[in-house]
Chains A and B, each alone.
Chain A
Amino acid sequence: MQDAGPESPVSVLEARISLKYDYSAGQSASRFLRAIERGKLLGQRCPVDGRVYFPSRGSCPQHAVTFGDEVVELSDKGTIVTYSIVRVPSANIPLALPYIAANVLLDGADTILMHVLDAKPDQVHMGMRVQAVWKPRAEWTTSTANIMFFRAIDEPDADYESYKEHI
């Protein structure tokens, strides 16, 4: 910062803030993250209406009830519910432009997962069947980034009725 002399206003004041936290993800998020560390995708069923939430989250944000200990292991296959074609670069996305940001309804889940899709813009469509492409097992951590992206699989499109409530 150039020193403009004793009469000039101070335009920069550096006050560095460094705070450390001993963080706990919580019981339900910890269970989900420990499972994905082993390549398993856990959801949980709402005891009120039976809907399966993914990720498992411990409580139902609609009915405000706890989910208890029962978990539902989900497939890593799913259906594209809706998508967007992204033409601006973003850090940490392992795909070349343009890539697809997609809402994926995993088989067995009643809530969507937002992720990225490795597909050509002229191929992607609603109802498209996809499967997770995982990082090499040795790189798995307690992170949803263990799934690098989704990719199309050779299955007929899902019936519109099966995913229309998630659009």
Chain B
Amino acid sequence: MRAVAVVGFSQSPSLRREPDRNEVEILIPVLQSLREQTGVSGADCDFICSGSSDYLAGQPFAFVSGLDAVGAWPPVSESHVEMDGAWALYEAWVKIQTGEAETALVYGFSKSSMGDLPITMALQLDPYSVMPLWPDAISIAGLQARHCLEAGLMTHRDMASVAVRDRAHAKDNPNAQLKGDWTVDEILSEAFLVNPLRRSDCAPISDGASAILLAAADRAGQICDRPAWIRGIEHICEPMELGVRDLGRSRSVEIAAEKAGVASDKIDVAELSAPFTHQSLLVEKALGLAGDTLVNPSGGALAGNPLMAVGLSRIGECASRIFSGAADRAVAHATSGPCLQQNLVCVLEGE
């Protein structure tokens, strides 16, 4: 395995709605900031990979216009995943492993606010038996939360505590959308949005973008004083059909965490992309985090959830804390599909 590191990270603020800017216009300052931070432009990179979704953009091949933010003339070596940018980062990591690239630009972006998001998300369900019923994404997550509560895996109070923690952490994150001080009791006094989920159990709808620069061994040290080395990265997928999975346990996070080597040493910081409080508890448990791990110092997905960028940003938030020396070892999590269907786990370390 070649040593590959995150050497730069930039993100836009998460906003409930970007009123005027389109995706490219959101992305351009993010990539400019990354270039200023690292001295490396997208066109300088050996490989470029992005994550976005045409269903969120409401138009086909929407990612192609995203290349305007990169500068793709003369032509560049580029790829795209119809997934969160965390999976684009995985592809870029593989590209560097093959020896075909020394540096790679990775970015993800969306304006999740443009459509009716919970309904749009129904399109990722089984198209024959489930999707024609148009179950919205919050109701689907509610089924899972109900299962977790009824099985005694967690309580409403546990779930509310996640929201309190993440929003309090987000006060230090200038890019966060939902931040501030709440008490567990305040959250428990909220009416249910989709029983058993309260609004505070759900991530907000967000527009935004983020970008990461990856570099192989020698290049990493030239670009960044303290690179965040990718020591393990794995993504694992479960079946689409909800009925054949154990919704009270994330086996895919467990397997990905094991393969990424999460447990081999102390984890200082964890950044999770779980968009519901009960899913955060499931992911924390599946990662096997000890009590001394700082979870979601940025606020995580519950403080800002620009789809297609939110998972990549978790890797970036971990890397930022390694750049600064605030953490030596961190784990980032990204998710895709209904009820934590597919999960990516990435372990990052300083020198």
Contact B68–A24 (Cβ < 8 Å): no
Contact A30–B20 (Cβ < 8 Å): yes
In angstroms, Cα B29 to Cα A65, docked, is: 9
Contact A27–B71 (Cβ < 8 Å): no
Q: Please, which residues of chain A bring their CB within 8 A of the CB of B252?
A: none
Render A4-35 as a binary contact track against B, CB cut-off 8 A, 1 for contact: 00000000010101011111111111100000
Give the contact stretch, choosing among A54-62, A113-121, A129-137, A148-156: A54-62
Q: Which of A29, A58, A63 has a CB less than 8 Å from the CB of B71?
A: A63
In angstroms, Cα B23 to Cα A59, docked, is: 12
Q: Give the interface size class of chain A.
A: 20 to 34
A162 interface residue (CB < 8 Å to B): no
Contact B68–A59 (Cβ < 8 Å): yes
Contact B71–A62 (Cβ < 8 Å): yes
Contact A64–B116 (Cβ < 8 Å): no
Residue of B nearest to A28 (CB): B25
Contact A27–B120 (Cβ < 8 Å): no
Minimum CB–CB distance for B192 against chain A, Å: 26
In angstroms, Cα B24 to Cα A25, docked, is: 10
Contact B113–A13 (Cβ < 8 Å): no
Contact A26–B21 (Cβ < 8 Å): yes
Considering residues A28, A58, A63, which has the most beta carbons from chain B within 10 angstroms of its beta carbon? A58
A75 interface residue (CB < 8 Å to B): no
Minimum CB–CB distance for B164 against chain A, Å: 32
Q: Which of B58, B69, B119 has a CB less than 8 Å from the CB of A64?
A: B69
B127 interface residue (CB < 8 Å to A): yes
Q: Give the interface size class of chain B.
A: 35 or more
Q: Please, which residues of chain A bring their CB within 8 A of the CB of B115?
A: 19-22
Contact A64–B22 (Cβ < 8 Å): no
Q: Please, which residues of chain A bring their CB within 8 A of the CB of B73?
A: 61-62
Q: Which of A23, A25, A29, A59 has a CB less than 8 Å from the CB of B69?
A: A59
Q: Please, which residues of chain B bring their CB within 8 A of the CB of A62?
A: 71, 73
Contact A64–B42 (Cβ < 8 Å): yes
Q: Please, which residues of chain B bring their CB within 8 A of the CB of A29?
A: 22
Minimum CB–CB distance for B215 against chain A, Å: 19
Q: Please, which residues of chain A bring their CB within 8 A of the CB of B113?
A: 22
Contact B28–A66 (Cβ < 8 Å): yes
Contact A15–B132 (Cβ < 8 Å): yes
Minimum CB–CB distance for B78 against chain A, Å: 13
Q: Please, which residues of chain A bring their CB within 8 A of the CB of B31?
A: 64
Residue of B nearest to A14 (CB): B132
Contact A22–B114 (Cβ < 8 Å): yes
Question: A58-B24, A64-B43 are contacts. A19–B71 as well, Cβ < 8 Å?
Answer: no
Q: Please, which residues of chain B bring their CB within 8 A of the CB of A65?
A: 32
Minimum CB–CB distance for A163 against chain B, Å: 19
Contact A61–B55 (Cβ < 8 Å): no
B149 interface residue (CB < 8 Å to A): no
B236 interface residue (CB < 8 Å to A): no
Question: A23-B58, A64-B31 are contacts. A15–B120 as well, Cβ < 8 Å?
Answer: no
In angstroms, Cα B53 to Cα A100, docked, is: 36
Which positions 24-49 of chain B face chain A at CB distance < 8 Å? Answer: 24-25, 28-29, 31-32, 41-43
Render B109-128 as a binary contact track against A, CB cut-off 8 A, 1 for contact: 00101111001100100011
Question: A26-B25, A61-B72 are contacts. A19–B55 as well, Cβ < 8 Å?
Answer: yes
Q: Please, which residues of chain A bring their CB within 8 A of the CB of B24?
A: 26, 58-59
B131 interface residue (CB < 8 Å to A): yes
In angstroms, Cα B18 to Cα A66, docked, is: 18
Q: Which of A15, A26, A66 has a CB less than 8 Å from the CB of B131?
A: A15
In angstroms, Cα B58 to Cα A23, docked, is: 8
Residue of B nearest to A61 (CB): B68
Contact A27–B55 (Cβ < 8 Å): no
Considering residues A24, A28, A65, which has the most beta carbons from chain B within 10 angstroms of its beta carbon? A24
8 A-B contacts (beta carbon < 8 Å): A15-B127, A15-B132, A19-B115, A23-B58, A27-B22, A57-B68, A59-B28, A59-B69
The 6 closest A-B pairs by CB, nearest first: A26-B22, A64-B71, A21-B58, A62-B73, A61-B68, A21-B114
